[in-house]
Amino acid sequence: MATTFPNLYTHRKVAETAAKACDICYKSSTSVLITPDKKDFFFVCAVHLKDRYFCTPKIDEEAAKKKREKELEEEKERVKQEYEEKQKKKKEKEAKKDKDDKEKDKDEKNKDKDKDDKKDESKDKEENTPTPEEEPRVFELKTTFYQQRLLKKRQAEAAKQDRERASKPGYFPSVPSDTPTR
């Protein structure tokens, strides 16, 4: 009767003007869960997507692993670059020490330390700002909610078939045309 669809839903956003009521709480929502084959979709609040009793996110493990490795490589490169810059500064300071008097050297050290501290603080601020984690896009509904979706789909198909049958001329019995005989 009804073709079933997989229990995998992709989270998508729609425009504010196209917002509809959430199927769970009936509040206006711009989040839509849709199956990959586009046979089923429904509006749901973003809060419900975080509810562990409603759905579970499906995370691509390989993609997450590659992303972590890429971040580690970038971190290594950044640390190496910072280390090389510090080594260059040390060498420059040593060269200046040999050339300049002790008094001038002390003044420059204080200025350089202040500049280095400011640079380090700005780098720390940049590092401390957490990058927002990407929200999962693929979800699997819990069995009760998935069964409800299947039931709604079956009921909608049954109602459609009933309407089609009722519109056909031979669906209802006709009045007998012959005269009754005994």
Considering the domain architecture, whether residues 105 and 54 belong to the same structural domain is answered as no
Instruction: Look at 84 and 110; give whichever has higher pLDDT.
Output: 84
Same domain, 68 and 122: yes
For residue 123, is it within any domain? yes
Residue 120 has pLDDT above 60, yes or no: no
Tell me: do 65 and 124 sit in the same domain.
yes
Same domain, 15 and 72: no
Provide the pLDDT for residue 105. Answer: 56
pLDDT of residue 135: 67
Provide the whole-model pTM.
Answer: 0.56
Average model confidence (pLDDT) for the chain?
82
The answer to the question of residue 178 being in a domain is no
Q: How confident is the model at residue 130 (pLDDT cuts 50, 70, 90)?
A: very low
**Residue at 142 is within a domain:** yes
For residue 17, what pLDDT is reported? Answer: 92
Q: Write out the two tokens for 22.
A: 């959430």
- 175 in any annotated domain: no
Q: Are residues 74 and 123 in the same domain?
A: yes
User: What average pLDDT score do residues 121-138 get?
Assistant: 57
| Residue 112: pLDDT over 80 | no
Instruction: Please state, in angstroms and rounded to a whole number, the distance separating the CA atoms of residues 123 and 120.
Output: 5
Quick one: what percent of the chain has pLDDT higher than 90? 46
Residue 115 confidence (pLDDT) above 60: yes
Among the ranges given (70-74, 112-116, 118-122), the one the predictor scored with the smallest mean pLDDT: 118-122
Top pLDDT among 83 and 62 is at 83
Task: Please indicate, yes or no, if residue 148 is contained in any of the structural domains.
Answer: yes
Tell me, yes or no, whether 124 and 65 share the same domain: yes
Q: How many folded domains does the chain comprise?
A: 2
pLDDT score, position 116: 61
Task: Identify the H or E element spanning 151.
Answer: helix 143-167
Average pLDDT over residues 143-162: 93
**Is 18 in the same domain as 106?**
no
Alpha carbon distances (Å) from 9 to 38, 43, 56, 75, 147: 9, 11, 10, 34, 14
Q: Are residues 99 and 118 in the same domain?
A: yes
Say if 38 falls within a structural domain: yes
pLDDT at 111 over 50: yes
Amino acid at 93: K
- Structural domain including 40 reads 9-59+136-167
| pLDDT of res. 131 | 43
Residue 173 lies in a domain: no
Give the three-class secondary structure for 139.
strand
